[in-house]
Structures are given as C-alpha cells and as structure tokens.
Amino acid sequence: MSSLGDLVGVLKAAGEDTRLRLLALLADGDHSVKDLTEILDQSQPRVSRHLKLLADAGLVQRHAEGAWAYYRLAPSGQGAELARWLTDRLDPCDPDRVRDKARQAEARIAQQNRAADYFAKVAESWDLLKTLHVPEAAVEAAVLAELGGRSVELLIDLGTGTGRMLEVLAPAYQRGIGIDSSREMLAVARSRLAASGLSHAQVRLGDIAALDPAVGLADVIVIHQVLHYFDDPGRMLAQARRLLKPGGEILIVDFAPHDYEFLRSEHAHRRLGLSSEQMNGWAAQAGLDVVAVREFPSENKDGGLTVCLWHLGDRNRTD
C-alpha cells in the first residue's frame, strides 16, 4: 500500500494533458523521445521533462540506448496499474487522441520505409554484411540444434530477407514460409531457394508488423536479426505470438546491447541491441517463457557485436 503523499504524487504526475497523452501513446508500445516529440509536436526538453515526471512516479520506464532513450509503460507496480487503468478509460474518439494515433501511425510507417529503402540497397550483399562482425556459422548451427532434430509441420521465418534461415533449417520442417516486406530481398530469396531445390519452402510479401492470420499457425517461428529494426520489439513479438500454435516455440536471434551508433545512421537499426531483461519482459507480456539463452561473442579481438539466441516457449504448454 502507498502512503497518502506517494499516491497524491502519482496522481499529480498522471493528471496533466500532455502526460496523459504520453501514457496513451506508450500503452501502444515503446517509443523514443524523438518519436514522441514528433507525434506530439512539442519540444524535446518539454517532452523529456514530462517523461521524467512520469518515470519518477513509477508510471513509465526509461531504457537508455546510446544517444537515444526509449520509454514504455512500467511493467509492474502500482504506477503500472494506474497507468493501465487510466489509458483503458480514454475516449478513442477524443480529438487529441485521434490526432496522436494518426501521427503515431505515420511515424511507424516512416520508420518502416527507411528500413525498406535500406534493404533494397543491400539485398544482393546482405549475407556478406551479416558476416562482418558475427560468428554466423555458429549461430546458424545453434538455431538448428535448438529444434533437437525434430521436423515440425510448419515453420514461419519473419523478416526472412534472403531466405537464409529457411535454407539452414530445411531439415527441421515439413513446410516453411518466409515473410518479408522487401521485394528485392524476396527476389534473392526465391532465387536461392530454387537453386537449393527446397520445394517445401516458399516466401511471401507481407508486413511483419501487421501479420495476416491467414498465413496459418506455426509450430516454430524464427525471428532472425529483425527486432532491432523496430522501435518496439515487444509489439512485434506480440504480433508473432498470434501466429503460434498452442505449445509452439519462437527462436530469436539478435544483438546483445552495444553502443555502435553508426548502425542507426548507416544501417537503419532502431535499437542498439536487446538485453535479456528486456526479452524476459516482452516474452512475459506475450504469454511466453524464455526457455534458454545462448551468447556468441564477436571473433573480432578489437571489439564487435555479441549475438544472442533466445528460445521462447508458450507459457501454457503442457510438456
């Protein structure tokens, strides 16, 4: 239970127009300060001041990544409960809310377009780029090993890119579907799958941020080096969860936290790696458990990126 003074402080923090709008936006997923200033059309110092008050009151949580900071609703505690209670009662037809939602959608589309432009430029050399700092062969072997020699009915590879994971995991599925929003990437993927004779794998054009349930329910979903292109990886994971069969599994490969800012400016990354703490939180919100984690440090003695492999399982599985 909170003291009277503490509770009044939390209520004061939430009880202001801009701060309530910020809570509503963060209820829809993680956002950077930059995104929030653009959506609200307010100055960065003003938005940062409001966010600090919300964070101090336990209503939101701040996560610093290099020169950027991301905010989300607090995942637990009385502040989190109050934030959810308030945002659930906002009128979706309120003019400010309608305008904020529209600008939020525009911001997300702009981010996806920037990533799509980047992928179109690097499609042909994508696999080479991935090997620059990453022990890719070891990671691929570990992903295959996580499936324990099984052959599942349906495997879905989200953000399939050049189709490399469909190729690597071919022995582990009876039917594989790769989904990507880049036509250039998919052209490369189709070519390499055909050359490999993988008739049980196919790729489709689709928005992995708004997945079509008609794709079907998967036994295994693979998300390989994709989540760092999203401002809100938790939202992406929740989307993927909807395509998972009861008892299904998700395998995620991504970078551990780092401070290589050039990956934002030159390679369209939005998040500078993902921590195990973050993954645990996103998984829990999606009704998943982190079953196992493996790390693969860079082979570059002068530094480099560490890659993580997370194995997530359906929280309601019976085995």
- Of residues 2 and 201, which shows the higher confidence score? 201
Q: Is residue 140 part of a domain?
A: yes
Distances (CA, A) of 179 to 159, 161, 265, 280: 6, 8, 25, 25
Q: What is the pLDDT of residue 64?
A: 75
Residue 139, phi then psi, degrees to nearest 5 = -65, -45
Are both 11 and 148 inside the same structural domain? no
Residue 154, phi then psi, degrees to nearest 5 = -135, 125
Q: Is residue 210 part of a domain?
A: yes
Q: Is residue 115 part of a domain?
A: no
Whole-prediction pTM: 0.67
- Tell me which residue range forms the domain holding 51: 4-90
Cβ neighbourhood burial of 189 (10 Å; 0-12, 13-18, 19+): buried
Q: What is the pLDDT of residue 143?
A: 94
Are both 136 and 262 inside the same structural domain? yes
Residue 42 belongs to a domain with what CATH number? 1.10.10.10
- pLDDT of 105 > 60? The answer is yes
Q: Is residue 49 part of a domain?
A: yes
114-117 contact pairs (CB < 8 A, 24+): 114/268, 115/229, 115/268, 116/181, 116/182, 117/268
**Angle at CA of residue 224, ends 221 and 228, nearest 5°:** 120
Give dist(CA 13, CA 1) in Å, integer: 18
Lowest model confidence (mean pLDDT) among 17-26, 45-54, 106-115, 137-146: 106-115
Lowest model confidence (mean pLDDT) among 3-7, 85-89, 153-157, 218-222: 3-7
Record the tokens describing residue 217, joined without a space. Answer: 């329910």
Provide the 8-state DSSP code for 114. H
Domain boundary among 90, 108, 137: 90
Are both 265 and 310 inside the same structural domain? yes
Mean pLDDT score across all residues of the chain: 84
Angle between helices 78-88 and 17-27 (to 10 degrees): 90
Are both 234 and 143 inside the same structural domain? yes
Across the range 110-118, mean pLDDT stands at: 67
Are both 170 and 305 inside the same structural domain? yes
Are both 158 and 235 inside the same structural domain? yes
Are both 40 and 176 inside the same structural domain? no
| Number of domain units in the chain | 2
Give dist(CA 120, CA 118) in Å, integer: 5
pLDDT tens-digit series, residues 245-288:
999 999 999 999 988 888 887 778 888 899 999 999 999 999 99
Query: Beta partners for 161?
Result: none
Are both 47 and 178 inside the same structural domain? no
Are both 183 and 299 inside the same structural domain? yes
Q: What is the pLDDT of residue 1?
A: 47
CB 135, CB 306: distance < 8 Å = no
Q: What is the pLDDT of residue 301?
A: 61
CB 70, CB 31: distance < 8 Å = yes
Are both 55 and 133 inside the same structural domain? no
Tokens 């693969």 identify what position? 296
Q: What is the pLDDT of residue 5?
A: 61
Q: Is residue 116 part of a domain?
A: no
Ranges assigned E (strand) in 170-287: 173-180, 201-205, 218-224, 244-255
Residue 274 belongs to a domain with what CATH number? 3.40.50.150
Give dist(CA 130, CA 126) in Å, integer: 6
Q: Is 165 helix (H, G, I), strand (E, B) or coil?
A: helix
CB 32, CB 73: distance < 8 Å = no
Q: Is residue 102 part of a domain?
A: no
* pLDDT band for position 17 (cuts 50, 70, 90): confident
Lowest model confidence (mean pLDDT) among 103-112, 176-185, 308-317: 103-112
CB 192, CB 198: distance < 8 Å = no
